[in-house]
C-alpha cells in the first residue's frame, strides 16, 4: 500500500472521528429521561461508529505486517477484557459489553476476531474435551446504576454469531439435539456478557451459584 492510499484512509478515519465527536456532543445535550428513544439511537450510532473506526485502524496495522495480526489481536482481546477460564468442567467466557441487537448492522470483526484468537490460544494452552450434551448459558449483565429501561428482549440480541465462534473450538455441535441454551438478565457493577458452557448435569448447580451472588431476572429460551 502506497503513501497516498494510506493518507486517504487516515483522512477517512479522521472524518469518522469528527462525526463521532459530533454524536457524543449530541448525547451530552440529550435528556435521557425526556428523550429516551433519541438517546438510544445516538448511543447506538456512537458505538457502531467507534467499532468501524477500530476495524479501519486494524486494517492499517495489518497492511504493514500480516505476521503481526495475531499479536495485535491478542492485545485487542486483553484491552477489550475478553477473559476465558475453566473451573469444575465449566468453561466461562467474559465479553466486554452487552451483545448487539440482531437488526443492527455492525462490523462483527470488532469482537469476533479477538474472541476467535483468544479461544484458539486458550485451547492450545489448556486442552479441553469437546462438550457434547451441554448447556450454553448467556448472561447479559447490566450496570445496576443505569435505567432498567435499557434491558432488551432476548429475541432481539445477536447470540448466533457468538455461539458459532465458540462452537468451533469447544462444542461437538451446536445443534439443538446436543446443546440447550439458557438466557438470563442480571444486574451488576458494569455492562458485560458472560457465556458459560457446561455438561447438562452441572447446570442445576450453576443456576444456584449465580442466584446467590448476583441479582437476576431469568428466562428459559
With bands split at pLDDT 50, 70 and 90, how would you rate the model's confidence at 101?
low
Please provide the average confidence, as pLDDT, over all residues in the chain: 81
**Listed residues 64, 84, 105: the one ending a domain:** 64
With bands split at pLDDT 50, 70 and 90, how would you rate the model's confidence at 122?
very high
Q: Same domain, yes or no, for 131 and 206?
A: yes
8-22, 23-37, 157-171, 191-205: least confidently modelled range: 157-171
Query: What is the total count of domains within the chain?
Result: 2
Q: Same domain, yes or no, for 157 and 207?
A: yes
Q: Is 0.75 topped by the overall pTM?
A: no
Distance CA 63, CA 59 (A): 6
Residue 170, classed as helix, strand or coil, is helix
Residue range 40-92, pLDDT digits in tens:
888 888 887 887 888 788 777 767 665 567 777 777 787 778 899 998 889 99
Residue 31 has pLDDT above 70, yes or no: yes
Q: Same domain, yes or no, for 18 and 90?
A: no
Q: Same domain, yes or no, for 36 and 51?
A: yes
Residue 15, classed as helix, strand or coil, is helix
Q: Same domain, yes or no, for 101 and 206?
A: yes
Amino acid at each position: 500500500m502506497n503513501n497516498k492510499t494510506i493518507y486517504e484512509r487516515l483522512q477517512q478515519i479522521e472524518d469518522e472521528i469528527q462525526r463521532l465527536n459530533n454524536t457524543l456532543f449530541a448525547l451530552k445535550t440529550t435528556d435521557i429521561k425526556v428523550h429516551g428513544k433519541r438517546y438510544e439511537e445516538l448511543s447506538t450510532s456512537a458505538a457502531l461508529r467507534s467499532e468501524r473506526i477500530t476495524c479501519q485502524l486494524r486494517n492499517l496495522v495489518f497492511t504493514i505486517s500480516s505476521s503481526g495480526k495475531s499479536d495485535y489481536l491478542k492485545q485487542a482481546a486483553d484491552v477489550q477484557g475478553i477473559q476465558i477460564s475453566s473451573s469444575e468442567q465449566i468453561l466461562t467466557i467474559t465479553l466486554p459489553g452487552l451483545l448487539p441487537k440482531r437488526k443492527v448492522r455492525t462490523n462483527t470483526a470488532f469482537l469476533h476476531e479477538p474472541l476467535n484468537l483468544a479461544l484458539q490460544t486458550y485451547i492450545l494452552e489448556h486442552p479441553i474435551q469437546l462438550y457434547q450434551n451441554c448447556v450454553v448459558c448467556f448472561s447479559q449483565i447490566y450496570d445496576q446504576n443505569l435505567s432498567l429501561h435499557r434491558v432488551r428482549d432476548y429475541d432481539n440480541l445477536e447470540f448466533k454469531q457468538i455461539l458459532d465462534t465458540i462452537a468451533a473450538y469447544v462444542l461437538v455441535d451446536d445443534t439443538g439435539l446436543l446443546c440447550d441454551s439458557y438466557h438470563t438478565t442480571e444486574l451488576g457493577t458494569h455492562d458485560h456478557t458472560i457465556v458459560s458452557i457446561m455438561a447438562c448435569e452441572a447446570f442445576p448447580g450453576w443456576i444456584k451459584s449465580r442466584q446467590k451472588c448476583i441479582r437476576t431476572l431469568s428466562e428459559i429460551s
